[in-house]
Amino acid sequence: MSLDERKNKVLQAIIEDYVATAEPVGSRTISRKYNLGVSPATIRNEMSDLEELGYLEQPHTSAGRIPSDRGYRYYVDCLMESHDIQPSEEDLIRRAFERKAREIDTLVRETARLLSDTTHLTTVISGPQISKAHFRELRLVPLGGDKAVLVYITDSGFVENQVLEMPVEVTMLELQRVSELLNDQLRGQPVEALSRAAVRALQQELHRYGALLEQTLQFLGTSLEPGDKHRLYLGGTTHMLNQPEFRDVDKVRNLLTLLEDENRISEVLVTADGSNRPEIQIGEEIKVRELADCSVVSATYRLGGDVIGRVGVIGPKRMEYARVVGLVNSVTKHLGDAGQRK
């Protein structure tokens, strides 16, 4: 439902004051700090109405009010104004992405750290979905003795490696030959197309390389299993400890335990409507019980027009939503641009 203009002003003032102070807000505070043109008594009446409508809550230890989940949702949907991030913040992000092109794995990890340092909140980013990528290059490099390292790279910049046991009689030239043959067979092919039938066909064609090829294909087959899993990158997991809402030991313990569980934390990044717009989830809207006292701002990032992953910021419901949305938008844009330059 829509509120009248005066209730909108009172609710906006309460939310902005609570975001800044983390303290329940009283009518005298609103009257003193915000020029609403009405008396404290009128503000008190409006606050009572907003509480009755479910937009505010009154902690039993205080006469002031705090926003409810419904109040935050109304604020971000109806009252929040767009926020241009500070030039210094935009410059910091731009310079971070102008460095020499790196593997996407490193780029995403550094992005998680950069965003968490800028927001002072916890960041979680899903990396490239490996099963949807295409092979770009595979290399076999001798390590000395009876070992070689297998390195493969996808078009999205994903890099994986594995040490293989190497038959003593295999020479460096033979390793190069196997690499060339596999590259000829796999380059440009979807990773998820590496089925058992495809592996068997490669084994038949390259049978003379025996054990080395078998190990290589076995590793590729297990590490590139089709599926929807993304790698997750976390930044600033301890930033939540600095928030007043998380001084409770049990809350902190539950949150840190959750952040260690990749399967469950990945649920936070599942977009509700499938759109590319930044999405804000508040409190009970988040399908993860341990985040009932939190909000999540997330958005997709792309490479070559394809969705690669999702960037999310986790913080208290008392976060600066407009600023965080602006930072997430900036980071996803630069992340996609940096990936295109690879």
The domain that holds 147 is classified in CATH as 3.30.390.60
Residue 64, SS3?
A: coil
d(CA 299, CA 278): 4
pLDDT value, residue 101: 47
- How many domains does one find in the chain? 3
Residues 243 and 107 in one domain: yes
CATH number at residue 241: 3.30.450.40
Q: CA torsion angle for 267, 273, 278, 281 (degrees, to 10)? A: -50
Classify residue 60 as exposed, middle or buried by CB count within 10 Å of its CB (0-12, 13-18, 19+): exposed
- Minimal CA–CA distance to 123: which of 247, 234, 24? 234
pLDDT along the chain (342 residues), means of 10: 91 95 92 90 94 92 87 95 86 76 72 92 81 74 75 70 69 79 79 62 63 62 52 84 79 81 80 69 89 92 75 93 93 77 52
| pLDDT given at position 228 | 47
Considering 223, 253, 283, which residue would you say is the last residue of a domain?
Answer: 223
Model's pTM, two decimal places?
A: 0.73
236 and 112 belong to one structural domain: yes
Task: Please indicate, yes or no, whether residues 291 and 311 belong to a single structural domain of this protein.
Answer: yes
Domain shared by 72 and 211, yes or no? no
Which pLDDT belongs to residue 189?
76
Do 202 and 245 lie in one domain? The reply is: no
Domain that holds residue 277: 87-128+230-340
